[in-house]
């Protein structure tokens, strides 16, 4: 702790945002840059003081009041006015300002320092009685609302009553006498403190307290901002945009904040204070009209926007006030902007010579780039929100509600657009994902099966829409017991925003703009990490390749066992009594699998294709036991000749039941216990390789063994692969490679000996997270996740962003061990984290060679990998 808890604006700088908050640090920087005449003076109370306030259970740390008093005295000396002076009072604003901006989430108090005496001084000094009383009534209202906690509606009711009385409709039509009456009425709602020092103390405490307010807490959860940061408080001399028609308040962006086009944008309102511009009570004017209102001010503002942009090397979002023709800048910050504006700015900034490409790359929030590839709801459209869920897979989609995969497939075959609506999804719904335009579930979050599969396929999805009850049996969706959707009804979802509506909403289609291509080109020049894709179908593979994927890092073959004849065949394999029967079923699958692999090799001609041998527990392919038992009962009752067959099926299904399938016969264990299945897959890969090659395709096949713990497991499989390949005339190291997934803690710890046996290792960070943390990846969402975030155990799901201190250390150790055993080994990451910018930064610094992610994340990963490398070099 630095000790000093209050800093004058003149003492701060841009680098001090952790201590002074973003707003405080930027005001300080702006004061240096534009000079004290353009930026009203003031001081910042540090985030550390806020943390101490919270730790002290809501009391100021010892000495803080004195530090504030000293800073206030300096401010008064500089302003030549005193807070509460009955002749010529200083007024201040008290505003929050955390390290990251949290717009509108915390409290603000304006016009502080007014009371029954000082309002008279303000009126006589300015010769503007209406202005003085308007400022006072705003203060009493804001103080009552923000500091004392009186509902805003009660003040609004009194204002409405006054307007009715005077038969006027606008606030600006209330004269000084009316405002005076309103102020009195407001003061009767609570005990208003006349002492400005007491006002200031309480306002600062209220802003500190608003850090833990519901709005702020929710915003932080959604944006992964830790509670422990606290907010700074900025106390700044008021300047007035409400002093008449030569005054105004406004917000201005240095460029168009939606498109990124080079013209500044924003709004302003003559004769108004800042809150009027944002509150929407009066319609503001476009900042492009500022020149008509006051050409000199307009020119000054445009010049300042350019200066700020040049100084910060980024698009700026500012607030300004014009007081009787004089322009003041109240704050500036890097503009939050949609991906399209971010990309446009980056490219334009380089063309204009404002930034170098490497600097421009760093101004982009890589995580948002995915939205550029998916259609979204037209932002200008109006619709009624039915419910909200987790924005699980970006893109907008609409169609008829269907409740099961089979109906989705049938409907799609007829050319109808459908949305698959389920409480949650499972492996055998996957066919329905392909057929549907979008997926909506009432349970599960960003790492649920529905979310993962949908993202992988680029199908928009909203998951975890908790207010919905999806009753698949009844074919209904209900909210609080009331039916809101039935099968066949229209529904639209926006998986980029988590929005659900029954309205028809126009969607806008994306294009890979040339600006986006330019940015990706820069990223490719810089990045060290390779970027591959997780793809199971040739369509996904082609799409990913268009987005710049440099190969397939993970093909999950289990998805290839769904679809009519395939599912039947794999069930026959599992249920088979004899080897002959099993072999026959496998022979049916062999050409189908071969075809799958051929088309993948073709789509990825010239690039590596990593095919993972079957991974999920076998029983996932079997019908639920309950269903078989029911069938048996019916068959017995009817005396059907199917009884023996169903009895046999039931005994097999029973035999394959496992208490904890995720930790049972999965991955390589499956290969060891049921070698025939892997043998068929290996054979199919070899044949596909030979056939594709014969057609001139440049094949780089990599066979990957999942869920390995022990080197011996891998060896058993390698022997099998090499034997089958040799039978097909293929040689390891020449025609194909064999590697493994590292997705269990033991495999990380023994990565040196495992690495010795492998040509490559790919970290499966989904299972590695599951097994390291002992959190089931299918059960953490919902209850556990939200509670843990609330309790501050972590601030985001470890399945979304790698738990670097825990799981990450295992990855780092594994990479180091594998590399020390075999320097040339190739190391990848193919869990969901491979597409997450923060995790990518960690992988870049951990000796990983490539990441692999879903197709739509490929551009995100390219940019994130470049940013990681740039930061590592800095
Ligand atoms: C993993 O575990 O990280 C992985 C990529 O495999 P899956 O998600 O298919 O279990
Ligand atoms: Mg796995």
Per-residue DSSP letters for 722-743? HHHHHHTT--BTTTEEEEEEE-
- Say if ligand 1 is within 6 A of residue 831 CB: yes
**Length in residues, the chain:** 874
State how far the Cα of 824 lies from the Cα of 121, in Å rounded to an integer. Answer: 79
Which ligand lies nearest to the CA atom of residue 765 in the structure?
A: 1
**340-343: long-range contacts (C-beta < 8 A, 24 or more apart)?**
340/258, 340/259, 340/260, 340/372, 340/513, 341/255, 341/256, 341/257, 341/258, 341/259, 341/260, 341/315, 342/260, 342/368, 343/260, 343/369, 343/372, 343/513, 343/515, 343/516, 343/519
264: exposed, middle or buried (Cβ count in 10 Å: 0-12, 13-18, 19+): buried
What tokens appear for 626 in the block? 């309950």
What tokens appear for 786 in the block? 């939200």
* DSSP structural state of residue 335: P
| Ligand 1, pocket-test mutation among 555, 707, 743, 808, most atoms within 8 A of CB | 743
Which ligand lies nearest to the CA atom of residue 768 in the structure?
A: 1
Between 293-307, 511-525, 680-694, the lowest mean confidence (pLDDT) is in 511-525
Determine the 3-state secondary structure of 32 from DSSP. Answer: helix
Question: 310 pLDDT exceeds 50?
Answer: yes
What tokens appear for 865 in the block? 């990998």
- Say if ligand 1 is within 6 A of residue 557 CB: no
Could you tell me the pLDDT band of residue 280, with boundaries at 50, 70 and 90? low
Distance 766 CA to ligand 2 centre (A): 6
Question: 576 pLDDT exceeds 60?
Answer: yes
Report the atom number in ligand 1 closest to the C-alpha of 830.
5
Distance 742 CA to ligand 2 centre (A): 9
Catalytic residues: 449, 830
| Ligand 1, pocket-test mutation among 766, 798, 843, most atoms within 8 A of CB | 766
* DSSP structural state of residue 83: E
- Say if ligand 1 is within 6 A of residue 440 CB: no
What tokens appear for 389 in the block? 């869920």
Residue owning the nearest CA to atom 10 of ligand 1:
767
Q: What is the dihedral of CA 398, 401, 407, 408, to 10 degrees?
A: 20
Is the separation of the CB atoms in 769 and 775 below 8 Å?
yes
| Strands 108-112 vs 265-270: parallel, antiparallel or unpaired | unpaired
- Say if ligand 1 is within 6 A of residue 616 CB: no
Report the atom number in ligand 1 closest to the C-alpha of 770.
2
Distance 447 CA to ligand 1 centre (A): 12
- Say if ligand 1 is within 6 A of residue 771 CB: no
Question: 294 pLDDT exceeds 50?
Answer: yes
Residue owning the nearest CA to atom 4 of ligand 1:
764
Q: What is the DSSP string of 517-564?
A: HHHHHHHHHH--SEEEEE-SSHHHHHHHHHTT--SEEEEEGGGGG-SH
What tokens appear for 417 in the block? 């657009």
Is the separation of the CB atoms in 720 and 760 below 8 Å?
no
State how far the Cα of 724 lies from the Cα of 417, in Å rounded to an integer. Answer: 44
**820: number of Cβ within 10 Å:** 12
Tell the residue number behind the tokens 């408080």, with chain if given: 233
Question: 265 pLDDT exceeds 70?
Answer: yes
The pLDDT of residue 445 is 67
Between 236-245, 438-447, 581-590, the lowest mean confidence (pLDDT) is in 438-447
Could you tell me the pLDDT band of residue 511, with boundaries at 50, 70 and 90? low
The pLDDT of residue 455 is 72
State how far the Cα of 654 lies from the Cα of 645, in Å rounded to an integer. Answer: 14
State how far the Cα of 89 lies from the Cα of 82, in Å rounded to an integer. Answer: 5
**Ligand 2 is an ion; residues with CB less than 5 A from it:** 743, 764, 767
Nearest Cα to Cα of residue 209 among 287, 284, 129, 146: 146
Residue owning the nearest CA to atom 6 of ligand 1:
764
Contacts of 564 (CB under 8 A, 6+ apart): none
State how far the Cα of 167 lies from the Cα of 439, in Å rounded to an integer. Answer: 53
Distance 767 CA to ligand 1 centre (A): 6
Does an H or E element contain 317, and which?
A: strand 316-323
Which ligand lies nearest to the CA atom of residue 449 in the structure?
A: 1
Tell the residue number behind the tokens 């970027």, with chain if given: 531
Is the separation of the CB atoms in 220 and 98 below 8 Å?
no
What tokens appear for 701 in the block? 């096949």
Is the separation of the CB atoms in 859 and 824 below 8 Å?
no
- Say if ligand 1 is within 6 A of residue 802 CB: no
What tokens appear for 208 in the block? 């500190």
Distance 243 CA to ligand 1 centre (A): 63
Beta bridge partners of 865: none
Nearest Cα to Cα of residue 128 among 236, 240, 270: 240
- Furthest-apart CA atoms within the chain: distance in Å: 104
State how far the Cα of 764 lies from the Cα of 320, in Å rounded to an integer. Answer: 50
- Say if ligand 1 is within 6 A of residue 536 CB: no
The pLDDT of residue 217 is 84
The pLDDT of residue 379 is 78
Report the atom number in ligand 1 closest to the C-alpha of 764.
3
State how far the Cα of 21 lies from the Cα of 6, in Å rounded to an integer. Answer: 12
SS (H, E, C) 578-603: CHHHHHHHHHHHHHHHHHHHHHHHHH
State how far the Cα of 325 lies from the Cα of 290, in Å rounded to an integer. Answer: 12
The pLDDT of residue 131 is 92
Report the atom number in ligand 1 closest to the C-alpha of 763.
3
**Cα angle 239, 245, 250; round to 5:** 50
Using one digit for the tens of pLDDT, what is the confidence trace for 339-365?
888 999 999 999 999 999 999 999 999
Report the atom number in ligand 1 closest to the C-alpha of 556.
9
Could you tell me the pLDDT band of residue 278, with boundaries at 50, 70 and 90? low
Q: Mean pLDDT score of the chain, rounded to an integer?
A: 92
Determine the 3-state secondary structure of 346 from DSSP. Answer: helix
State how far the Cα of 204 lies from the Cα of 688, in Å rounded to an integer. Answer: 70
Q: What is the DSSP string of 136-199?
A: HHHHHHHIIIIII---HHHHHHHHHHHHHHHT--SGGG--HHHHHHHHHHHHTTS-----HHHH
Nearest Cα to Cα of residue 236 among 62, 137, 97, 65: 97
The pLDDT of residue 559 is 82
Which ligand lies nearest to the CA atom of residue 534 in the structure?
A: 1
pTM for the full predicted model: 0.83
Backbone Cα Rg of the chain:
32
What tokens appear for 544 in the block? 């990913």
Which ligand lies nearest to the CA atom of residue 764 in the structure?
A: 1
The pLDDT of residue 861 is 98
Beta bridge partners of 754: none
Does an H or E element contain 320, and which?
A: strand 316-323
Residue with more model confidence, 119 or 278: 119
Q: Distances in Å between the alpha carbon of 98 and those of 18, 232, 451?
A: 8, 6, 32
Question: 448 pLDDT exceeds 80?
Answer: no
Using one digit for the tens of pLDDT, what is the confidence trace for 160-171?
999 999 998 888
96: exposed, middle or buried (Cβ count in 10 Å: 0-12, 13-18, 19+): buried
| Ligand 1, pocket-test mutation among 831, 839, 854, most atoms within 8 A of CB | 831
User: Percentage of the chain surpassing pLDDT 70?
Assistant: 98
**Alpha-helical regions (H) of 656-750:** 667-673, 675-694, 711-727, 745-749
Question: 453 pLDDT exceeds 80?
Answer: no
Q: What is the DSSP string of 437-454?
A: SEEEESS--TTSHHHHHH
- Say if ligand 1 is within 6 A of residue 596 CB: no
Report the atom number in ligand 1 closest to the C-alpha of 743.
2
| Ligand 1, pocket-test mutation among 744, 767, 773, 834, most atoms within 8 A of CB | 767
Distance 658 CA to ligand 2 centre (A): 18
State how far the Cα of 139 lies from the Cα of 145, in Å rounded to an integer. Answer: 10
Nearest Cα to Cα of residue 609 among 664, 662, 532, 676: 532
| Ligand 1, pocket-test mutation among 745, 830, 836, 857, most atoms within 8 A of CB | 830
State how far the Cα of 864 lies from the Cα of 516, in Å rounded to an integer. Answer: 14
Report the atom number in ligand 1 closest to the C-alpha of 832.
3
Q: Distances in Å between the alpha carbon of 359 and those of 651, 870, 874?
A: 64, 9, 11
Question: 1 pLDDT exceeds 50?
Answer: no
State how far the Cα of 826 lies from the Cα of 759, in Å rounded to an integer. Answer: 7
Determine the 3-state secondary structure of 137 from DSSP. Answer: helix
Distance 423 CA to ligand 1 centre (A): 23
Question: 563 pLDDT exceeds 90?
Answer: no
| Ligand 1, pocket-test mutation among 446, 532, 534, 554, most atoms within 8 A of CB | 554
State how far the Cα of 204 lies from the Cα of 44, in Å rounded to an integer. Answer: 11
Which ligand lies nearest to the CA atom of residue 839 in the structure?
A: 1
Report the atom number in ligand 1 closest to the C-alpha of 831.
3
- Say if ligand 1 is within 6 A of residue 830 CB: yes
State how far the Cα of 823 lies from the Cα of 461, in Å rounded to an integer. Answer: 42
Nearest Cα to Cα of residue 92 among 288, 222, 227, 237: 237
Is the separation of the CB atoms in 571 and 514 below 8 Å?
no
Distance 339 CA to ligand 2 centre (A): 31
State how far the Cα of 441 lies from the Cα of 443, in Å rounded to an integer. Answer: 6
* DSSP structural state of residue 386: E
Using one digit for the tens of pLDDT, what is the confidence trace for 170-224?
888 899 999 999 999 999 999 999 999 999 999 999 999 999 988 788 778 767 7
- Say if ligand 1 is within 6 A of residue 765 CB: yes
Distance 668 CA to ligand 1 centre (A): 13
- Say if ligand 1 is within 6 A of residue 743 CB: yes
State how far the Cα of 253 lies from the Cα of 317, in Å rounded to an integer. Answer: 4
Residue with more model confidence, 197 or 243: 197
Angle between helix axes 765-773 and 809-821 (nearest 10 degrees) is 120
- Say if ligand 1 is within 6 A of residue 526 CB: no
Report the atom number in ligand 1 closest to the C-alpha of 452.
8
Distance 763 CA to ligand 2 centre (A): 9
State how far the Cα of 26 lies from the Cα of 101, in Å rounded to an integer. Answer: 11
- Say if ligand 1 is within 6 A of residue 767 CB: yes
Report the atom number in ligand 1 closest to the C-alpha of 706.
6
State how far the Cα of 478 lies from the Cα of 754, in Å rounded to an integer. Answer: 52
Nearest Cα to Cα of residue 531 among 855, 103, 747: 855
Which ligand lies nearest to the CA atom of residue 708 in the structure?
A: 2
* DSSP structural state of residue 641: T
**468: number of Cβ within 10 Å:** 24
Residue owning the nearest CA to atom 1 of ligand 1:
764
Residue owning the nearest CA to atom 3 of ligand 1:
764
């Amino acid at each position: 702790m630095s000790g000093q808890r209050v800093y004058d604006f003149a003492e701060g700088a841009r680098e001090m945002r952790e201590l002074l908050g973003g707003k405080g640090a930027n005001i300080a920087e702006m004061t240096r840059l534009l000079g004290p005449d353009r930026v009203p003076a003031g001081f910042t109370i540090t985030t550390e003081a806020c943390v101490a306030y919270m730790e002290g259970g809501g009391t100021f740390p010892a000495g803080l009041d004195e530090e504030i008093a000293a800073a206030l005295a300096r401010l008064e000396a500089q302003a030549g006015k005193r807070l509460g002076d009955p002749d010529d009072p200083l007024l201040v604003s008290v505003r929050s300002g955390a390290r990251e901006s949290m717009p509108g989430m915390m409290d603000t108090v304006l016009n502080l320092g007014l009371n029954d005496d000082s309002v008279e001084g303000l009126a006589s000094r300015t010769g503007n009685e209406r202005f003085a009383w308007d400022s006072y009534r705003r203060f009493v209202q804001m103080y009552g609302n923000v500091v004392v906690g009186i509902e805003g509606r009660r003040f609004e009711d009194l204002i409405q009553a006054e307007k009715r009385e005077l038969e006027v409709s606008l606030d600006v039509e209330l004269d000084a006498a009316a405002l005076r009456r309103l102020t009195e009425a407001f003061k009767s709602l609570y005990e208003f403190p006349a002492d400005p020092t007491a006002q200031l103390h309480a306002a600062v405490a209220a802003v500190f307290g608003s850090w833990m307010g519901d709005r702020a807490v929710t915003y932080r959860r959604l944006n992964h901002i830790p509670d422990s940061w606290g907010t700074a408080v900025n106390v700044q001399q008021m300047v007035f945009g409400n002093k008449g028609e030569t005054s105004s308040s406004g917000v201005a962006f240095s460029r168009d904040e939606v498109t990124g086009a080079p013209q500044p944008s924003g709004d302003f309102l003559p004769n108004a204070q800042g809150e009027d511009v944002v509150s929407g009570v009066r319609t503001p004017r476009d900042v492009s009209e500022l020149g008509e209102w006051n050409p000199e001010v307009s020119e000054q503002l445009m010049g300042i926007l350019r200066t700020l942009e040049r100084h910060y090397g980024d698009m700026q979002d500012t607030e300004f006030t014009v007081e009787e023709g004089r322009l003041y800048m109240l704050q500036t910050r890097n503009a939050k902007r949609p991906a399209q504006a971010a990309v446009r700015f980056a490219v334009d900034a380089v063309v204009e010579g404002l930034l170098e490409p490497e600097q421009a790359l760093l101004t982009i929030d890589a995580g948002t780039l995915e939205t550029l590839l998916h259609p979204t709801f037209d932002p200008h459209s109006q619709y009624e929100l039915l419910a909200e869920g987790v924005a699980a897979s970006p893109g907008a989609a609409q169609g008829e509600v269907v409740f099961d995969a089979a109906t989705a497939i049938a409907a799609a075959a007829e050319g109808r657009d459908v949305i698959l609506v389920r409480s949650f999804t499972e492996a055998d719904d996957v066919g329905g994902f392909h057929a549907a335009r979008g997926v909506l579930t009432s349970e599960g979050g960003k790492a649920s099966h529905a979310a993962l599969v949908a993202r992988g396929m680029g199908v928009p999805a909203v998951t975890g829409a908790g207010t919905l009850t999806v009753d698949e049996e009844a074919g209904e969706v209900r909210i609080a017991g009331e039916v809101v959707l039935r099968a066949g009804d229209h529904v639209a979802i926006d998986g980029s925003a988590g929005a659900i509506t029954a309205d028809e909403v126009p969607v806008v289609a994306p294009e890979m703009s040339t600006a986006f291509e330019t940015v990706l080109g820069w990223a490719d020049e810089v990045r060290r990490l390779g970027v591959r894709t997780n793809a199971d179908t040739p369509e996904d593979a082609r799409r990913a390749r268009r987005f710049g994927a440099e190969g397939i890092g993970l093909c999950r073959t289990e998805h290839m066992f769904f679809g009519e004849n395939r599912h039947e065949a794999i069930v026959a394999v599992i249920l088979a009594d004899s080897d002959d029967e099993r072999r026959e079923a496998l022979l049916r699958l062999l050409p189908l699998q071969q075809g799958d692999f051929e088309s993948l090799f073709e789509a990825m001609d010239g690039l590596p294709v990593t095919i993972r041998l079957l991974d999920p527990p076998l029983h996932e392919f079997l019908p639920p036991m309950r269903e078989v038992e029911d069938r048996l009962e019916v068959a017995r009752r009817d005396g059907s000749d199917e009884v023996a067959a169903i009895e046999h099926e039931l005994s097999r299904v029973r035999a394959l039941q496992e208490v904890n399938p995720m930790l049972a016969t999965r991955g390589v264990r499956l290969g060891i216990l049921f070698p025939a299945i892997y043998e068929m897959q290996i054979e199919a890969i070899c044949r596909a390789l030979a056939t594709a090659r014969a057609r001139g395709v440049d094949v780089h096949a990599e066979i990957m063994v999942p869920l390995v713990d022990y080197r011996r497991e891998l060896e058993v499989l390698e022997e099998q692969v090499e034997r089958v390949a040799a039978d097909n005339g293929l040689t390891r190291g020449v025609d194909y490679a064999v590697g493994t997934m590292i997705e269990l803690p033991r495999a990380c710890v023994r990565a040196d000996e495992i690495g010795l046996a492998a040509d490559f290792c790919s970290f499966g960070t989904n299972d590695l997270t599951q097994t390291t943390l002992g959190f089931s990846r299918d059960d953490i969402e919902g209850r556990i996740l939200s509670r843990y975030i609330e309790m501050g155990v972590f601030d985001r799901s470890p399945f979304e962003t790698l738990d670097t201190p825990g799981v990450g250390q295992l990855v780092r150790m594994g990479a180091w061990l594998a590399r020390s055993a075999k320097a040339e080994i190739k190391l990848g990451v193919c869990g969901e984290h491979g597409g997450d910018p923060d995790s990518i930064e960690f992988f870049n610094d951990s000796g990983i060679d490539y990441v692999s992610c879903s197709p739509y994340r490929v551009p995100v990963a390219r940019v994130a990998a470049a940013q990681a490398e740039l930061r590592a070099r800095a």
